[in-house]
């Protein structure tokens, strides 16, 4: 996902992605970003009255890169954070806030109930449950080796949930080998860092007549921003047309 962000940034151009104006390749931009992240691991920087450190920066990227609609803002933030002056960094904090946190609705940071429920949602279904530090170390190493960008970010949740005392009551322990009344369309993309596309194919194996729509890009929300060629593979999300999911379903055999 991180590499893809820089590749598509150059394709989008400087108007949508300020990083593209720096006359650097995608590989160079990514390398500079990793160098910057490692530098603030040892020496956090000030952004106005806020301290930007390694954990905070990686957490911000892990969360916001899931939403391509935020990529232009992310590019602007990284341009200033990595290549800008101290004065420019002071002025970027409001953009960081508006990019990373919703301002209204049930996901608003002002909703205490939402914050409390997040732990219940994550931990109720989560494995593993571990009662020793040594056991947690093995899990942490596996996460870090799986993803350089978000592996250590989600260690926070995994560690918090390791000794969670409650289990979700609605956990389904059966299989998915069924024939549904209507065929099921499973939609996933090849760049989802949280729900890999192989999970969609695994579920599809049990659901008779089901199909998997693979989006060769990011995002699978209510509207898919691409012009689909033949089903079941869709082209990249940076193309212009917006196609309703119902239009895609109509192409199913």
pLDDT in tens, 153-194: 888 788 888 888 888 887 777 788 899 999 898 888 887 767
CA dist 188 and 197 (Å) reads 5
| Average pLDDT of the segment spanning 90-99 | 69
Does residue 88 sit in the same domain as residue 126? no
**Residue at 10 is within a domain:** yes
| Average pLDDT of the segment spanning 44-48 | 76
Distant-in-sequence, close-in-space partners of 253: CB < 8 Å, separation ≥ 6:
231
CA dist 71 and 84 (Å) reads 18
Q: Dihedrals φ, ψ of 187, to 5°?
A: -115, 130
Task: Please provide the average confidence, as pLDDT, over all residues in the chain.
Answer: 76
Last residue of a domain, one of 100, 123, 145: 100
**Residue at 176 is within a domain:** no
Confidence of residue 108 (pLDDT cuts 50, 70, 90): very low
**Residue at 212 is within a domain:** yes
Q: Provide the domain limits for residue 138.
A: 112-161
**Residue at 210 is within a domain:** yes
**Residue at 61 is within a domain:** yes
3-class DSSP assignment, residue 155: helix
Does residue 191 sit in the same domain as residue 243? yes
Please say if the pLDDT value at position 235 is more than 60: no
Confidence of residue 75 (pLDDT cuts 50, 70, 90): very high
- Answer yes or no: are the C-beta atoms of 58 and 37 closer than 8 Å: yes
Q: In what order do the strands lie in the sheet with 185-189?
A: 185-189, 211-215, 233-234
Instruction: Count CB-CB contacts under 10 A for residue 197.
Output: 17
**Residue at 15 is within a domain:** yes
Instruction: Please report the pLDDT score of residue 84 as a whole number.
Output: 86
Instruction: Please report the pLDDT score of residue 107 as a whole number.
Output: 42
Instruction: Please report the pLDDT score of residue 222 as a whole number.
Output: 39
Q: How many domains does the chain have?
A: 3
Confidence of residue 39 (pLDDT cuts 50, 70, 90): very high
Helices (H), the chain: 2-12, 26-42, 54-64, 71-83, 86-90, 93-100, 112-125, 133-146, 155-161, 197-206, 245-249
Please say if the pLDDT value at position 102 is more than 50: no
**Residue at 178 is within a domain:** no
When mean pLDDT is compared across 49-53, 112-116, 176-180, 181-185, the lowest value belongs to 112-116
Q: pLDDT tens for residues 131-151?
A: 888 888 888 888 888 888 888
Does residue 196 sit in the same domain as residue 136? no
Does residue 57 sit in the same domain as residue 12? yes
**Residue at 168 is within a domain:** no
């Amino acid at each position: 996902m991180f590499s893809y962000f820089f590749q598509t940034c150059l394709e989008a151009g400087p108007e949508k992605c300020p990083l593209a104006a720096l006359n650097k390749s995608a590989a160079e931009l990514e390398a500079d970003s990793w160098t910057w992240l490692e530098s603030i691991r040892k020496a956090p920087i000030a952004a106005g009255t806020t301290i930007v450190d390694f954990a905070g920066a990686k957490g911000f990227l892990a969360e916001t890169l899931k939403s391509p609609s935020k990529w232009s803002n992310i590019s602007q933030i990284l341009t200033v954070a990595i290549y800008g002056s101290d004065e420019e960094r002071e002025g970027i904090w409001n953009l960081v806030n508006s990019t990373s946190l919703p301002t209204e609705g049930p996901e608003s940071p002002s909703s205490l109930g939402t914050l409390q429920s997040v732990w219940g949602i994550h931990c109720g279904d989560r494995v593993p449950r571990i009662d020793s530090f040594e056991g947690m170390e093995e899990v942490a190493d596996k996460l870090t080796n799986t993803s350089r960008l978000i592996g250590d970010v989600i260690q926070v949740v995994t560690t918090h949930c390791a000794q969670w005392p409650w289990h979700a009551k609605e956990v389904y322990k059966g299989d998915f080998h069924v024939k549904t009344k209507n065929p099921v369309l499973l939609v996933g993309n090849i760049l989802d860092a949280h729900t890999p596309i192989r999970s969609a194919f695994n579920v599809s194996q049990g659901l008779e007549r089901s199909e998997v729509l693979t989006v060769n890009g990011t995002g699978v929300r209510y509207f898919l921003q691409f012009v689909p060629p033949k089903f079941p593979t869709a082209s990249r999300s940076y193309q212009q047309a917006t196609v309703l999911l119902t239009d895609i379903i109509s192409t199913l055999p």
